[in-house]
Structure 1
Amino acid sequence: MVASLATALVAAGIVWPRSTLSASFIGIQMGFVASALWRAALVIASLRPTPSSPKPSRWPRYTILAALHDEAAVVPQLIQRLSKIDYPRRQLEGFLVLEAHDQATINAAKAARRPGWLRILVVPPGAPQTKPRALNHALAFATGELLTIYDAEDEPDPGQLREAASRFAGQPQLGCLQAPLRIRRRNAELSTFLDRQFAFEYAALFEVNLPGMAKLNLPFPLGGTSNHLRTAALRRVGGWDAYNVTEDADLGFRLWSAGWRLGVLESPTWEAPPGALERWLPQRTRWLKGYMQTWGVHTRAPRALGRRGQLSLVMTLGAAIVSAASHAPTLAWLIVALMVALNIGMAPVVPLASFAVLAVGVIAAWMGCAAGAKRAGQDYRLTDMLAAPAYWSLLSLAFIHALWRLIVAPYAWDKTAHDAEIDAECTSVMTVDAGREAA
């Protein structure tokens, strides 16, 4: 579908270059306006209160999966955090899902002191070597009515499972609940440019966009961790796509296509920021590559999603891909226009309507980040707003890398490295802040 549209656009550009350029420019402007209106609608929708859920008459059996690869350094820390989960132990089971060749992580898991409900499960060798393949192997052993996934660096709110179980109890069509992911601060604050912008991006997504979409009864791409699922619903859709490097985003739309609904939780999961550019870029590359894969899969049979699902797919994954591709060129165009104008001593020859459309889009993005940051307890400053376009431009670098990786290595998993020392710094700050709030 995308290839056909691109081919048609190129052909039209050759035959009618001026008309095609004008039409494309108008289309881009309309897209910016639509995206801004979408963001504003989600901010408003997210303000709706979430109805309280009564405690279930019995606590259902719950399965926790944590798929780890080359995570020997953080295994003890993860086990310690999972041990704090507040849920009836008789109704709880967990698996550390480890790769057969990853002996270092296996040894670390065996050496660590684990609660009785948390076991080690080794995935036999095979391809593709991805997180969803490991999760599918573990799914065969899961006995819980409900199931959730955590990553190596996660620190879930101890009451998260109880909240999820209560929400599931009163809504039989609810297939999945996504917990908000929040970025922990390092050294008393999010001090680096990438850490801060990444945290605000997460805040806009998990504190505003997903809650807004859930309250509008729309499907959305799940986060890679802390999604709580009905095990029966997960099995009914065939588990995770082992070949999709954002299996979480794909799963949200597959559940919707099968008739299930999605919601969000209030109890968060804390994560460490990815860190420097050499860690951030592979992670973002994988996300964008997975978005492209998911877009390709679900646009083959869009009727399965229905109109609401199609709208959501376009405004989430589609918009994310197009935005990543256009941020840097748009910023470059503005800078060049300004520099040329200053050099010749004239006002920039840029249509006022174009500036207005761009300003509306930027303001809408700032609004989402500001609202999300407030809910996540983060400090969103004027300097962060002014620095945001530079961060958005980095997404164009990730887009180019993702497109290339999709062509040459579509199923390769660009793993995010986790640093136990940095994560411990973030944890200590979060713990201090929690203590202050409690006091």
Structure 2
Amino acid sequence: MSARLRGLSDFQWLALAGALTAAGCLVWIRPGLIGPLLVAGAAATFLVISCWRVALVILSAGGIDRRDHATADLPRYSVLVALHDEAEVIDQLVERLARIDYPQDRLQGLLILEPHDAPTISAALAASKPGWLEVFVAPPGEPQTKPRALNCALPHVTGNLLTVYDAEDEPDPQQLREAAARFAADAGGNLACLQAPLRIRRMHRGLSPSPFLDRQFAAEYASLFETALPGMARLGLPFPLGGTSNHFRVDVLRAVGGWDAFNVTEDADLGFRLWGKGWRLGVISRPTWETPPGDLSDWLPQRTRWLKGYMQTWGVHTRRPWRLGARGAFALLMTVGAGIVSASVNGPSLAWLATTVLVAAVAGLPPQTPALALVVLILGAASAWLSCAIGARRAGVPYGPTDMIVAPAYWALQSLAAAHAAWRLVREPFAWDKTRHRRDEPVTATVTAPAPAHAALDEAAPERLSAGHAAAPQPVA
């Protein structure tokens, strides 16, 4: 159950051999059917994905429990933030973490750093941190990934509940309280993780280096966290977690072995691994605000890593897909599998469509578009636009007609990332493409509650450095 093992399982070899045998027989017996069957199969696949996307939009309207649950005895809570080359944003991060509205005597925070990252360590030690926030230096080792750093800190966690944030995050101050209340209200006792929505800030006009990428990225996030995940949670299905703002029961997290240090989307993997062990996932309403990655030079490595991790996750959980059960395997297919396929074919499909139209226009003929292909094109685009539009409205991010018109260009870019991801999966499967984080420019969409009095910085707190060098990482399941 780890991406460290790169070979195919017996089941995967058997499935591959069966598919190749069936294809060979078809070529031998009825070669003329290959083309029509491929077209029909692709069309059916994307029609199902489109209908599924619309269904999630509808179901997500009631997918989040927004009731205020009273929690008399708040449990101890640990906050983990894995950092690497983040000296520029340390002060900003600490300031935001200090706004968390939770009893300080029940909070533990660890800024997890790599031993060779001297600038970030110096900045973290020099920052004016609240008394509950410490610096933890992970022991040296491989691979140098975020999940490995989190595993190194897991044995030192003292909380009953745990959340993970990233360097650029600005969590809602009430997020921990909502998560603690939801866990307390879980009558069945099988709720293992809650995912908070991630929302992208709207930048002032002219400040963003790439407004096209930023707006499409924000709408994409809104589609995922405001419609897809709440809809799946309402159906009681597993889903790929976000890389930040997921809240865990610590005992469950330790029981499943923590994070897979060799999976570069450890969040996607862990959601299905928890489900496979009999646990349930949910969502909460208090968001975490993030900034978009920036221009293409930042966006492409990040998307490459995400798709490479999706490929790893698909490979791991299809080794023995029966462990997920029918519903879990279906959820894996409609999230991870559909994400890989969609990203891979968007660019070639749009290129084929544009070429067909241009050739017909040059020849002075109407494009010969099959009715099935036209239906798939219209429904696929409409369902994506609907999901983005509804999600953007809920998240408070812009998404108008112009964004819809230019969205196919963004979809096509994902094919570039998918091709790069497949190559990197072969050449550098465990390499972590680091996303650079910068201090935020002024924004217009962030509404942050004022910090409570008990969340003020403890100026007199001595600097503390946890003895992380002696810690061994938790074994990965």
Whether the 8 Å contact between 1:85 and 1:158 is mirrored in structure 2 is yes
What's 1:346 paired with? 365
Out of 389, 393, 410, the position equivalent to 1:374 is 393
Q: 1: CA distance between counterparts of 2:419 and 2:341?
A: 12
Instruction: Letter of the 1:23 partner, please give it.
Output: L
Cα offset, 1:113, TM superposition: 0.5
Query: For 1:342 and 1:78, how far apart are their aligned partners in 2?
Result: 54
Find the aligned partners of 2:261 and 2:243 in 1 and give their Cα distance: 13
TM-score, normalization by structure 2: 0.87
**Deviation at residue 357 of structure 1 after TM alignment:** 1.4
Q: 2:238 aligns with which of 201, 219, 229?
A: 219
Aligned length: 430
Q: Match of 2:33, as an amino acid?
A: S
Task: Indicate which of 11, 18, 32 corresponds to 1:18.
Answer: 32
Structure 2 residue aligned with 1:90? 105
The one-letter code sitting in structure 1 at the alignment partner of 2:442 is: E
Q: Distance in 2 between matches of 1:157 and 1:434?
A: 7
Distance 1:6 1:286, change over 3 A: farther
**Aligned-residue offset at 1:22:** 1.2
Map of 2:266 onto structure 1: 247
Partner Cα distance (2:80, 2:45) in 1:
39
- Richer in helix (by share): 1
Structure-2 separation of matches of 1:215 and 1:308: 13
The letter of the residue matching 2:202 is R
Is structure 2 residue 154 aligned with structure 1 residue 154? no
Per-residue CA distance 1:107-133 (angstroms, 9 max, x = gap): 000111100000000011100110000
2:465 maps to what in 1? none
In the other structure, the counterpart of 2:316 is 297
1:20-44, Cα deviation, whole Å (9 max, x unpaired) = 1211111100011100110011011
Alignment partner, residue 330 of structure 1: 349
Q: Tell me how far apart the structure 1 counterparts of residues 361 and 22 of structure 2 sit (CA, whole Å).
A: 34
Among residues 402, 411, 419, which one is paired with 1:392 in the alignment?
Answer: 411
Q: Kindly tell me: are residues 223 and 5 of structure 1, through their superposed partners in 2, closer, same or farther at Cα, counting changes over 3 Å?
A: farther
Deviation by residue 1:73-92 (Cα, 9 ceiling, x = unmatched): 00111000000000011110
Instruction: Provide the residue aligned with 2:190 in structure 1.
Output: 173
Q: Residue 73 of structure 1 aligns to a residue in which SS?
A: helix
- Give the structure 2 partner of residue 140 of structure 1: 155
Structure 2 match to 1:72: 87
- Per-residue CA deviation, residues 141-190 of structure 1 (Å, 9 max, x unaligned), is 00100000000000000000000000000112110000000001222587
Does the 8 Å CA contact 2:63/2:230 hold for their aligned counterparts?
no
**C-alpha contact 1:81 1:156 (8 A) present in aligned 2:** yes
Partners of 2:83 and 2:23 in 1: CA distance: 44
1:222-233 correspondence runs (5 A): 222-233=241-252
The CA distance in 1 between the partners of 2:137 and 2:159, in whole Å, is 19
Letter of the 1:176 counterpart: C
Shift in Å, 1:57: 2.6
TM-score, normalised on structure 1?
A: 0.95
Structure 2 Cα separation of the partners of residues 239 and 297 of structure 1: 16
Partner Cα distance (2:388, 2:251) in 1: 35
- For residue 72 of structure 1, what is the amino acid of its counterpart? A
Greater relative contact order (CA < 8 Å, ≥ 6 in sequence): 2
Flag the 1:96–1:366 CA change in 2: closer, same or farther, 3 A: same
286 and 17 in structure 1: CA distance in 2 versus 1, 3 angstrom threshold: farther
Alpha-carbon distance in 2 for matches of 1:10, 1:156: 51
- Say if 1:49 and 1:356 are closer, same or farther in 2 by CA, change over 3 A: closer
1:182 corresponding residue in structure 2:
199
Q: What per-residue deviation string (whole Å, max 9, x for no partner) do you get for residues 384-405 of structure 1?
A: 0111111000000000000000
CA-based RMSD of the aligned residues comes to 1.7
Greater mean deviation of Cα atoms: 182-191 or 327-336: 182-191
Structure 1 unmatched runs, 5+: none
Work out whether residues 79 and 162 of structure 2, in 8 Å CA contact, stay in contact via their aligned partners in 1: yes
- Write the deviation string for residues 213-264 of structure 1: whole angstroms up to 9, x where unpaired: 0001000000000000000110111000000000000000001111110000
Does structure 2 retain, via aligned residues, the 8 Å contact 1:324–1:392? yes
Amino acid aligned to 2:94: I
